[in-house]
Amino acid sequence: MRAEPINWKYVRIGECELTARTFNLLRSNGMEILGEVAARSDSDLLALPGFGRISLLEVKELLAAFKRSMPDETKAMTWRRLLEPLLKKNGDTLDEVVFEWGDLPEDNGPLMTDEEELNRVFQPKPERAMGRPFHAHSERGIYFVVKLDDGESVRYIPKYPGSGRKPIHY
């Protein structure tokens, strides 16, 4: 299953075409994604040390371009959005599943809780991992991430082969 493009609010500012000055000012003030920048008012941005009207204009033009071209938040893909229907179909809930998370090659940031990882939005570029790989188990079966030609998917294998259920790709 191919992930849909992510919401513009989750795009990292490092992936945007910003001047070095504007990028450095935003980053040094703790803004990593466009949603954090968009949440600030013009006066909040102008209050940042060294952030002037030219930087403000650049940010406003960038946000306007992204708002026109990116889908809305309801189409953002997360492991939670992908897993919940599968869990329900197999008689499991998120509370019953134990997750073990793999590494994201380009993201060696702080450890996140299961809740944060499940809500992490997939990256839009196909050469990157779309979500943090995992395998999880419940009393009924095992879920894990597999790489297919068209992206990543989740595979479910029931623990009890005599159940008559075959391994399933979702």
According to the model, what pLDDT value does residue 108 have? 55
Calpha distance 65→37 (Å, rounded): 14
- On average, the pLDDT of the chain sits at 75
According to the model, what pLDDT value does residue 116 have? 80
Three-state SS sequence of 56-96: HHHHHHHHHHHHHHCCCHHHCCEHHHHHHHHHHHCCCCHHH
According to the model, what pLDDT value does residue 123 have? 52
Percentages helix, strand, coil for the chain (3-state, rounded to 5) are 40, 20, 40
According to the model, what pLDDT value does residue 147 have? 66
According to the model, what pLDDT value does residue 56 have? 93
Residues of the chain with pLDDT > 90: what percent? 16
Q: Which range (1-5, 98-102, 148-152) has the least confidence?
A: 1-5
For 86-145, what is each residue's pLDDT tens digit? 888 888 888 888 888 877 655 556 677 888 888 777 654 444 445 677 888 888 888 887
CA angle 96–160–82, rounded 5-degree value: 45
Q: Which range (76-85, 132-141, 159-168) has the least confidence?
A: 159-168
The yes-or-no verdict on residue 69 having pLDDT over 50 is: yes
For residue 125, give Cα distances in angstroms to 41, 131, 147: 30, 11, 15
The C-alpha torsion from 121 through 76 and 124 to 59, rounded to 10°, is -90
According to the model, what pLDDT value does residue 48 have? 92
In the chain, ranges of CATH 1.10.150.20 domains? 8-73
According to the model, what pLDDT value does residue 70 have? 53
Higher pLDDT, 160 or 136: 136
| Record: fold of 8-73 | DNA polymerase; domain 1 (1.10.150)
According to the model, what pLDDT value does residue 163 have? 53
The order of strands in the sheet holding 134-137 is 98-101, 134-137, 141-148, 151-158, 168-169
The yes-or-no verdict on residue 44 having pLDDT over 70 is: yes
